[in-house]
Amino acid sequence: MKDKIDIKFIAGKAQVSPATVSRVLNKSKAVSPELKSRVLSMIEKYDYRPNEMARGLIFQKSNLIGIITPRVANAFNAELISQIEKRANQAHYDVIISNISGNFENEKKAFRIMHDRRVDGIILLHENTPEEMAELQRISDIPIVLASVRVEGSSLPNVSIDDERAAYEATRYLIQLRHMKIAGVFSDSYSAGNLRKKGFLDCLSAQNIAPFALFIGECTFHGGAVIAERILALQEKPTAVFFISDEMAIGAINYFQDHRVRVPEDISVFSFDDIELASYVRPRLSTVHQPVREIGQYATEMLLALIEKRPLYQPQQILPHHVIIRDSCAALEN
């Protein structure tokens, strides 16, 4: 029966008190070189490493950051998570993820679980109503930061682009191409979907154009294909479609192509996010570029500041976006 290697064990082997071992480890106070080397060699010999749960208990700190998102496997989210993890690691935090499915109840549950673990902070990658956000905050006073999302009417710190403006610009671009029959495809609880929808609608109404059709779908390739099917089933078809995410757009384009509808010749497609893939499909996607790396890293930065109670000079960070013109949109003959 192997005995477990804890601080007491090491202390015993080095013939010192546990306190001394701790002091050697944390360099908190002077220890005579003699004892120090005894301790160090025993630590080395038994490859002793302090139990983080025990330390967490004392310090009231888990060094854990929680990420909550409705879809880990989404390309944009996955990249965001990757960036967050990277930055968090540098600061000696680990990342724990929660893939919530569907309703807000599940999200609350996930939130509670993270609270139970005494996660030091949480990053949210998706949208909620201001009321829901407030409810989450009521559960626990763990710092929260939104990444790639902004919720109107909520004062939560966030890092994102100006989704509304970006959607406005994208839509204006479609109108400049002389499109009048423009459909919009959105999704519940994906990034800052409501703002994108708002920008889309505002731009149309500013030009006195009525939205040709509005759809709500799942933010996946398949979800995009489903919408495409519904679009092709329409008696009169739109000449352009604005998608809330690249993944949906790609799924839809595939469906179009399968049914002999050419993109962009027959129908133009504009989307959002600019995931790496966007420039690797045919036609290459015209889309709104989000600076994922910066969003992820900055959001983490912000959360760390919040955790360490450093002041937040700019709790609502808007990073620059770019409307990227590639090949998925064509101008309409007049």
129 binds, among a copy of itself, DNA, none (CB under 5 to 8 A by kind): none
Residue type at 23 in one-letter notation: R
Closer residue to a copy of itself (CB): 97 or 201:
97
- Give min distance, CB of 68 to a copy of itself, in A: 12
Q: What are phi and psi of 217, to 5 degrees?
A: -145, 180
Contacts with DNA, residue ranges (CB under 7 A): 4, 6-8, 15-23, 25-26, 28-32, 34-35, 48-51, 54-55, 57-60
Name residues contacting a copy of itself, limited to 39-58 (CB under 8 A): 47, 49-54, 56-57
Query: What is the rounded CA–CA span in Å between residue 103 and residue 8?
Result: 47
Could you tell me whether strands 286-289 and 322-324 are parallel, antiparallel, or unpaired per DSSP bridges? Answer: antiparallel
Closer residue to DNA (CB): 9 or 104:
9
Residues counted in the chain: 334
Q: What are phi and psi of 184, to 5 degrees?
A: -125, 135
- Give min distance, CB of 180 to a copy of itself, in A: 28
Distance (Å) of CA 125 to CA 21, 66, 74, 154, 318 = 42, 11, 11, 15, 15
- Give min distance, CB of 253 to a copy of itself, in A: 8
Instruction: Please give the full DSSP string across 264-333, using - where no structure is assigned.
Output: TTT-EEEEEE--GGGGTSSSPPEEEE--HHHHHHHHHHHHHHHHTT---S-SEEEE--EEE--SS--PPP
**Options 117, 178, 259, 262; binder of a copy of itself; rule CB under 8 A:** 117
Closer residue to DNA (CB): 25 or 332:
25
Scanning the structure block, which residue is given the tokens 């480890």?
A: 25
Among the listed residues 207, 280, 213, 275, the one whose alpha carbon sits nearest the alpha carbon of residue 240: 213
- Give min distance, CB of 258 to DNA, in A: 56
Scanning the structure block, which residue is given the tokens 């949480």?
A: 122
25 binds, among a copy of itself, DNA, none (CB under 5 to 8 A by kind): DNA
CA dihedral 244, 245, 247, 250 (to 10 degrees): 60
318 C-beta neighbours (distance < 10 Å), count = 14
- Give min distance, CB of 117 to a copy of itself, in A: 5
Closer residue to DNA (CB): 21 or 170:
21
Token digits for 74? Answer: 């989404």
**Options 221, 243, 272, 298; binder of a copy of itself; rule CB under 8 A:** 221
Longest distance between any two alpha carbons in the chain, whole Å: 90
Name residues contacting a copy of itself, limited to 259-318 (CB under 8 A): 276-277, 279-282
31 binds, among DNA, a copy of itself, none (CB under 5 to 8 A by kind): DNA
Q: Which residues bind a copy of itself (CB under 8 A)?
A: 47, 49-54, 56-57, 62, 64, 71-75, 78-79, 81-82, 85-86, 89, 94-99, 112-113, 115-118, 139, 220-222, 225, 250-251, 254, 257, 276-277, 279-282
